[in-house]
Homo-oligomer: A and B are copies of this chain.
Amino acid sequence: MHQQNPVFIPGPTNMPEVLRKASDMPTIDHRSPMFGEILRPGLAGVKKVLKSEAASIFVFPATGTGGWETAITNTLSPGDRVLAARNGMFSHRWIDMCQRHGLNVEIILASWGSGAPADRYEEILAADKAHEIKAVLVTHNETATGVRSDIAAVRRAIDAARHPAMLFVDGVSSIASMDFRMDEWGVDIAVTGSQKGFMLPAGLAITAFSPKALAALETAKLPRTFFDVRDMSKSYENNAYPYTPAVGLLNGLKVSTEILLAEGLENVFARHKRIASGVRAAVRAWGLELCATSEDLYSDTVSAIRTPEGFDATSVVTHAAKKYDVAFGVGLGEVAGKVFRIGHLGSLTDVMALLGIATAEMVMADLGLAIKLGSGVAAAQEFYRSSHVPAGQGAA
């Protein structure tokens, strides 16, 4: 039979019917006024999701990686110093990108499983009396380890060091699923993609620039054209793009923000937290541990689960796919083979989460781990039963 089980990868997520339909559009003239009716509310919606009044939103036909490149190439110049913590595969990759674009990256090494260390940020920034560091990079949610870092704390660190550096945040796997406060946290650039909390197909790099970041456009010397924010900004004035926009996805983005805001952001975040809590209850019932080293770091969008020493965690993923047609995420980089990941973001219900948990149980039992069938499910059921579960509001 054909693919019909939900996926439990940490993005792209399961897509609601209404967003698939919104994204699947017939061709329209993207230079006609119709396009503005799609673009404008989409951008405005993203801004609300980011809890920002001040930001300018720019959406590129690309992915989150393109969003990273947009952030650095539009605001920095070759040789510029940036400060970044490396605590997982995605923070690692952004650092690598910076280096490949000729930036001088001050790397804070942090263990995979820990958060971005605000104290270390503060120390280094305080020491940078010459204010050579132009930007501070933080990965809000490390998709590889299931760790959420404290962006507010990093902002406090920058402020405590009285440092003028801009704050760039990778919110790819957090935004629209977990609380994100662009203005309150003083984020200068936020980056995300369409295929996570917005529950759309991959294909949009979504970026938000603070006025300070916009000002940096004028001095930044890194070459860029496709990702040039000035071109994009100028085109937006005419409700247009500097090249052909991904109209269907943008329409999907518009509708996605509509349904997120209609549900209420806090409800969206609470839903993610509730579903994640059920998964974590299952992990505890299995006697396993998360990669995230403390509760305050637990991600509500993805759980990276450590398997016992000597066991190949990747086999969970391959076996689940092969035998049960269910997709989990493998461990990446330093935690490859040590963790498997359950993505629990986007369009998911409590009972869909139970499907994933039940599958993981069978898989681990099949592979010889001492997992009691039904144990994780029961723990999650207990949690879901007792937490409030609003039922669906009708067909999508």
Chain A residues engaging chain B, CB cutoff 8 angstroms = 1-5, 7, 9, 11-18, 20-21, 23-32, 34, 37-38, 60-66, 68-69, 96-97, 100-102, 193, 195, 201-203, 222-228, 242-249, 251, 259, 263, 271, 321-327, 329-330, 347-352, 354-355, 358-359, 361-362, 365-366, 372-375, 377-378, 381-382, 384-385, 389, 391-396
A225 lies within 8 A of B65 (CB): yes
Given A29-B321, A201-B247, residue A373 in contact with residue B378 (CB < 8 A): yes
Q: Shortest Cβ distance from A70 into chain B, in angstroms?
A: 9
B358 lies within 8 A of A351 (CB): yes
Q: What would 15 A/B residue contacts be, using CB atoms closer than 8 Å?
A: A1-B392, A3-B34, A4-B14, A7-B29, A11-B244, A15-B26, A23-B24, A37-B394, A62-B66, A97-B225, A101-B223, A202-B246, A251-B395, A355-B358, A373-B378
Q: Shortest Cβ distance from A63 into chain B, in angstroms?
A: 5
Given A61-B61, A244-B12, A381-B374, residue A28 in contact with residue B66 (CB < 8 A): no
Q: Which residues of B contact A193 (CB under 8 A)?
A: 244
Q: With the chains together, A395 CA to B373 CA distance in Å? A: 29
A249 lies within 8 A of B203 (CB): yes
Given A362-B385, A382-B373, residue A226 in contact with residue B34 (CB < 8 A): no
Chain B's closest residue to A69 (CB) is B226
Please provide the 4 A-B residue pairs with the shortest distance between their CB atoms, ordered closest to farther.
A374-B378, A374-B374, A29-B327, A2-B396
Q: With the chains together, A18 CA to B349 CA distance in Å? A: 24
Q: Which residues of B contact A351 (CB under 8 A)?
A: 5, 324-326, 355, 358-359
A4 lies within 8 A of B324 (CB): no
A25 lies within 8 A of B61 (CB): no
The count of identical subunits is 4
Q: Shortest Cβ distance from A343 into chain B, in angstroms?
A: 10
Contact partner of A396 among B4, B20, B358, CB < 8 A?
B4
Main secondary structure of the interface of A (DSSP, over half): loop
Q: Shortest Cβ distance from A36 into chain B, in angstroms?
A: 10
Q: Which residues of B contact A245 (CB under 8 A)?
A: 202
A247 lies within 8 A of B4 (CB): no
Q: Shortest Cβ distance from A41 into chain B, in angstroms?
A: 12
Q: With the chains together, A348 CA to B2 CA distance in Å? A: 10
B244 lies within 8 A of A63 (CB): yes
In the complex, given contacts A3-B396, A201-B249, A203-B249, what are 12 additional A-B residue pairs having Cβ atoms less than 8 angstroms apart? A4-B396, A28-B395, A31-B330, A63-B226, A68-B225, A100-B223, A100-B228, A326-B351, A351-B359, A354-B354, A366-B385, A373-B378
Q: With the chains together, A60 CA to B63 CA distance in Å? A: 10
Given A327-B29, A373-B381, residue A247 in contact with residue B202 (CB < 8 A): yes
Q: With the chains together, A62 CA to B60 CA distance in Å? A: 8
Contact partner of A352 among B5, B18, B66, B389, CB < 8 A?
B5
Q: Shortest Cβ distance from A339 into chain B, in angstroms?
A: 15
Chain B's closest residue to A363 (CB) is B385
Chain B's closest residue to A248 (CB) is B201
Q: Shortest Cβ distance from A75 into chain B, in angstroms?
A: 15
Q: Which residues of B contact A66 (CB under 8 A)?
A: 61-62, 226
Q: Shortest Cβ distance from A8 into chain B, in angstroms?
A: 9
B12 lies within 8 A of A247 (CB): yes
Q: With the chains together, A256 CA to B4 CA distance in Å? A: 15
A223 lies within 8 A of B222 (CB): yes
B102 lies within 8 A of A223 (CB): yes
Q: Which residues of B contact A247 (CB under 8 A)?
A: 12, 201-202
A394 lies within 8 A of B323 (CB): no
A358 lies within 8 A of B385 (CB): no
